[in-house]
Amino acid sequence: MGDLVSGPFAAIHAASVPALPPRRSELGRSLLAAFAMALVLGWAGRVIELRPLELVRDIGNIGVFLKGYLHPSFANIGEYAWQCLVTICIALWGTVLAAAISIPLGLLGARNLSPHPAVYFVTRRIMDVLRAVNEFVFALMFVTAVGLGPFAGMLALGIHTGGVLAKLLSETIESIEPGQVEGVAATGAGRLHVIAFGVVPQVMPNFLSYVMLRFESDIRSASVIGMVGGGGIGFYLWDTIRSFKDREAATVILLIVAMVMLTDIVSSRVRRAAI
């Protein structure tokens, strides 16, 4: 039985070794790449003043610094907890705004859907700007318009994340199966119908997943955006650290860690249930 199965293959395996085309050695290229990488890393290390020995020598200073944080104060915990809730609300509305912004941008910025190459180009550049400018910068800008507070922070988060989601959405759209779109367009359906039936069902699961992931990251951003007047717990984080209220700062940091962990857990549960 074994012979019956292996027989024909054994004949192939026992045949003389054919002459394959010569293989080019890649050792030189690998060495060159490693050398170039080392050069870049070395230079970048000098730029950032990389001094690992100092870290080892003075590590005790961190201990002194942290000592103040060992006894968190619970005097103002009610206010901090409320500000954590405000932070979550900033992230929630910021993500909704971002999703709303990303849909038109994502559709116009997808190569296979954009009505004209010029529209595609301009939309892509708008996305680049939204992504390149940090939410802190946007927050400073909106503070001048709507004043200090969570509204400015939410707008800043929404605009920046809108650019990120638009890029993810447009790339999802570019990778859809064209056949399914063609099947809708072939009925003579209009552009809106082709998008609603041919495109939306294909991109929806990925898009929802991206939105939820960005919500988790928006929580982290919202927890520090208060440093520049964008509302939420970030203001207290900044204020307590800057005025050396170590015990208060410790409370704030603990609450932020708890909030991020909690929202991540809830969000990933919802994400799995929804998709």
Distance from C-alpha of 67 to C-alpha of 244, rounded to nearest angstrom: 12
Q: Which of 76, 140, 183, 208 binds other proteins (CB under 8 A)?
A: 183
Nearer to other proteins, 202 or 209 (CB): 202
Q: Under the criterion CB under 8 A, does residue 60 sit at the interface with other proteins? A: no
Q: Half-sphere exposure of residue 223, counting CA atoms within 13 Å on the CB side?
A: 20
User: With contacts defined by CB under 8 A, how many residues of the chain interact with other proteins?
Assistant: 21
Beta carbon nearer to other proteins, 77 or 200: 200
Q: Which is nearer to other proteins, 42 or 201 (CB)?
A: 201
| Contact map string, positions 224 to 253, toward other proteins, x by CB under 8 A | ------------------------------
273's CB contacts (< 8 A; 6+ apart) are: none
- Choose between 70 and 273: whose C-beta lies nearer to other proteins: 273
Q: Nearest CA to 171 among 205, 209, 206? A: 206
Contacts 24+ apart (CB under 8 A), 264-271: 264/216, 264/219, 267/212, 267/215, 267/216, 268/212, 268/216, 270/212, 271/208, 271/209, 271/212, 271/213
Q: Residue 125's Cα: distance from chain center in Å?
A: 19
And the tokens for 138?
């946007």
Nearer to other proteins, 191 or 272 (CB): 191
Among 189, 253, 254, 260, binds other proteins (CB under 8 A): 189
Interhelix angle 77-108/234-242, nearest 10 degrees: 130
Looking at residues 193 to 212 of the shown chain, list those that interact with other proteins (rule: CB under 8 A). 193, 196-198, 201-202, 204-205
Comparing CB distances to other proteins, the nearer of 153 and 198 is 198
**By C-beta, is 6 or 175 nearer to other proteins?**
175
Interface with other proteins by CB under 8 A: which range of 25-33, 49-57, 184-192, 227-235? 184-192
Taking CB under 8 A as the rule, does residue 117 contact other proteins? no
User: What are 78's two structure tokens?
Assistant: 């009610």
How far is residue 132's CA from residue 164's CA, in Å, rounded to a whole number?
A: 9
Give the whole-angstrom CA distance, residue 232 versus residue 223: 6
- Would you give the binding string for other proteins spanning residues 160-179, x where CB under 8 A is met? -----------------x-x
Binding residue (CB under 8 A) for other proteins from 182, 265, 270, 274: 182
Among 14, 24, 187, 273, binds other proteins (CB under 8 A): 187
Helices 77-108, 150-174: crossing angle, 10 deg rounding:
40
Least spacing, CB of residue 162 vs other proteins, in Å: 23
Summarize as ranges the residues that interact with other proteins (CB under 8 A). 177, 179-180, 182-190, 192-193, 196-198, 201-202, 204-205
